[in-house]
Amino acid sequence: MHLYADSRYTSPYALSVFVALHEKQLPFDITTIDLSSDAALALAYAKLSLTRRVPTLVDVDFALSESSAITEYLHETYPGQALYPAQAKQRARARQVQAWVRSDLMPIRVERSTVVLFYGPTATPLSAEATSAAQKLFAGASELISHGGPHLCGDEWCIADVDLAVMLNRLVMNGDEVPPHLAEYAQRQWQRPTVQQWVKLQRPPL
C-alpha cells in the first residue's frame, strides 16, 4: 500500500488514515505532496487522486481519496482492529462525527489550524465566530461522551475518536479554554500509540 500525505504532516485527514493503517497493522509507504505548490493538481497525481487532495491511498491497482472513504474501505476489507463499531447505531454515530468535523466548525479550523498541534500555538485570540463554534463543539462532544466511557462509543475505540480529538485539541493544545472533561478525553486519544507515531514524524521547518 502507498499513502499520499501532506509534506508537513499536518493534515488531520492524512492523520486519520495513517492511524487506521497502523491499527490494521498494514505495511505501507508514504509519499508527501507539497500543498503550498501545485503538486496536488499535477497530472500525474490527478491520475491517482480523483479529488486531487490528500490523503490518497493506493492499494495495488485501486486508488481512493477522501479520508473517511479510505477508513471505511480499510475497515470493510481487512481483518484486525475494527475501525468502526460493530453495532449499527454506534457505527452510524461514528460516521456522523466524522462528517461533522469535516464539514462544520469552520471558524475553529481556520483560526486554529492543525499547525498549532505540530508546530506550536498562536497568540491570536479566538474571534466571536470561533468562540461560538467552540461552544457548539463543546456541547456536541459533551453529549457524545456523556456515557462516561473512555471513548466515543463507550469502551470500544473507533477511528472517529481520532477525528473528534483532533478538533478538540486544536483548542486544548493552543491553550484555549476547554471544559476539563473534554480536554482529558482529547489528550487520552492523543496518547494512543498509533496517533503518537504520526505526532513523532519528522517535519520540515515551518
pLDDT of residue 45: 77
Give pLDDT tens digits for 110-129. Answer: 999 999 999 999 999 999 99
Query: Measured between alpha carbons, how far is residue 131 from residues 89, 124, 139, 173 in Å?
Result: 31, 13, 12, 16
Q: Do the Cβ atoms of 153 and 96 come closer than 8 Å?
A: no
pLDDT of residue 43: 63
Question: Residue 60: which region, alpha, beta or left (left: phi > 0; alpha: psi -120 to 50)?
Answer: left
What band does 41 get if pLDDT is binned at 50, 70 and 90?
low
166 has a pLDDT exceeding 90: yes
37 has a pLDDT exceeding 80: no
List, by residue range, all CATH 1.20.1050.10 domains of the chain: 88-192
CA 15, chain centre distance (Å): 5
Average pLDDT value for the chain:
95
Query: Measured between alpha carbons, how far is residue 3 from residues 10, 57, 197 in Å?
Result: 14, 5, 15
Mean pLDDT, to the nearest integer, of 144-166? 97
Q: Do the Cβ atoms of 17 and 26 come closer than 8 Å?
A: no
CATH topology for the 2-81 domain: Glutaredoxin (3.40.30)
Q: How far apart are CA 100 and CA 115, in angstroms?
A: 20
pTM attached to this predicted model: 0.95
Vertex 54: Cα angle to 51 and 57 (nearest 5): 90
pLDDT of residue 40: 56
Give pLDDT tens digits for 77-104. Answer: 999 999 999 999 999 999 999 999 999 9
In CATH terms, 88-192 corresponds, of 1.20.1050.10, 3.90.1640.10, 1.20.120.420, 1.10.150.120, to 1.20.1050.10
List, by residue range, all CATH 3.40.30.10 domains of the chain: 2-81
What residue type is assigned to position 106 of the chain?
M
